[in-house]
Amino acid sequence: MAYTITLIPGDGVGPEVIEAARRVVEATGIEIQWELQETGEKALRTSGSPIPDEVLENIRKNKVALKGPITTPVGTGFRSVNVAIRKALDLYVNLRPARSFPGVKSFFPNLDLVIVRENTEDLYAGIEFEQASQEMRRLREFMENEKIKVSEDAACSFKLMTWKGSIRAARFAFEYAVRHKRKKVTVVHKANIMKATDGLFLRAAKTAAEDFPEVEFEDRIVDNMCMQLVQKPELYDVLLLPNLYGDIVSDLCAGLVGGLGLAPSANLGERAAVFEPVHGSAPRYAGQNKVNPMAAILSACLMLRHLGEVTRAEQIESAISQVLGEGKMVTYDVKSTSEESLVVGTKEVADEIIARMKELSRKPY
Ligand code: NAD
């Protein structure tokens, strides 16, 4: 079967890791017509918008996209293109597996966690009012009527969470647990302090849990969760989190298994799915053929699984495990201590994975 897939190279190191992922996917023999779409800084220069309408239309049409990281200016400039894509396409869950690989230095060599992050709501939706804005002035008036003083120098972010957004993410976590024979879902929150918003998220998780008695269920307060993850992450299985905690805790989990160079993700909705590495555009490494393409390649594996191409995904994952296990041809971030270890670039790692895939496919079963 031939597929048509949207390809978004992104900014910074994005084009290099996405090109590596494209080559590795094609080496499986799958037939894909890629439709290239520019976003971020490049699109802003050529079309005046960091997220032109054609990009969203193209993803809607193809239903699947492989995407590189996109730079978001810090503190000023345009709003996050990633948030815009997730909201516009209602990609309500961000799935982030964090798994140890042989040969990669980690205190936890057998870790296998899955993060299910609500992906469209919470503080991360970026609904904000600047100090001097009209909205902030109106908010100040409203709060004063409620006898709450808001000073002139205040800015404000809204933490909006809905039952619909929370319950569908929670159901996804339990359905995922059942489908993948996982034992436990842990919902992570700060409902002791944010009783209305995180309280709602926790209630939704408890409600979803009632329909899945075969899956163990528990909750953890987010600060305690971070400490527990650093000390004994092997106690956890599937983690369900609101958007902002999910973003932060998934980088922590990536760190537990060897870093951002190995962390893939899938943004999933009813009508579309966008696959991308967890890492950002790492601008200081852009154009240097330096960073690890494995996070992007593993994201492409999640994409292949989503398309039902499980054997091809496994073929790539086995090759990655071999390359990492031997540690001879890897990027700087997963350099092994072996004397034979050679630090190579993004492109060379992709070449090595492709060579391993060819060897593996020649081996008799
Ligand atoms: P980053 O993930 O780009 O980089 C942080 C550090 O992680 C790098 O300096 C590097 O040491 C390491 N790293 C990242 N990717 C790696 C890889 N593939 N191989 C090896 N090491 C790797 O985070 P940042 O510097 O905080 O963000 C840079 C930009 O990326 C910002 O504009 C941010 O908004 C954006 N961003 C985009 C996405 C996305 O598009 N989904 C996600 C996160 C950050």
Q: What is the pLDDT of residue 306?
A: 97
Q: What is the pLDDT of residue 339?
A: 66
DSSP 214: T
- Supply the pTM of this predicted model: 0.94
Please give all residues whose beta carbon lies within 6 A of any atom in ligand 1, as ranges. Answer: 17, 69-72, 82, 260-261, 276, 279-282, 291-292, 295, 333
Which structure tokens are listed for 155? Answer: 């800015």
Q: What is the pLDDT of residue 364?
A: 55
Q: What is the pLDDT of residue 41?
A: 82
Residue minimizing CA distance to atom 44 of ligand 1: 280
State the DSSP H helix or E strand holding residue 350, giving kind and residue range, or none if neither.
helix 346-362
Q: What is the pLDDT of residue 76?
A: 76
Q: What per-residue string of b and e applies to 235-267 under the rule 16 or more CB within 10 Å gives b?
A: ebbbbbbbbbbbbebbbebbebbbbbbbbbbbb
> CB of 273 within 8 A of CB of 64?
yes
Determine which one of 67, 247, 290, 333 is catalytic.
247
Give 242-266 pLDDT, tens digit per residue. 999 999 999 999 999 999 999 999 9
Residue minimizing CA distance to atom 42 of ligand 1: 280
**What parts of the chain have a pLDDT lower than 70?**
337-340, 363-365
Determine which one of 11, 63, 92, 124 is catalytic.
124
Q: What is the pLDDT of residue 217?
A: 98
Nearest to 186 by CA among 151, 154, 221, 158: 221
Nearest to 177 by CA among 124, 218, 221: 218
Instruction: Give the contacts of 255 (CB within 8 A, at least 6 positions apart).
Output: none
CA distance 262 to 100: 9
Active site residue 92: no
Query: What domains are there in the chain, each with its CATH number?
Result: 1-91+260-365 (3.40.718.10), 112-122+160-256 (3.40.50), 125-158 (no CATH)
Q: What is the pLDDT of residue 113?
A: 97
Q: What is the pLDDT of residue 328?
A: 87
CA distance 152 to 136: 9
38 CA distance to ligand 1 centroid (A)?
19
Nearest to 347 by CA among 14, 7, 6, 23: 23
Active site residue 124: yes
Active site residue 190: yes
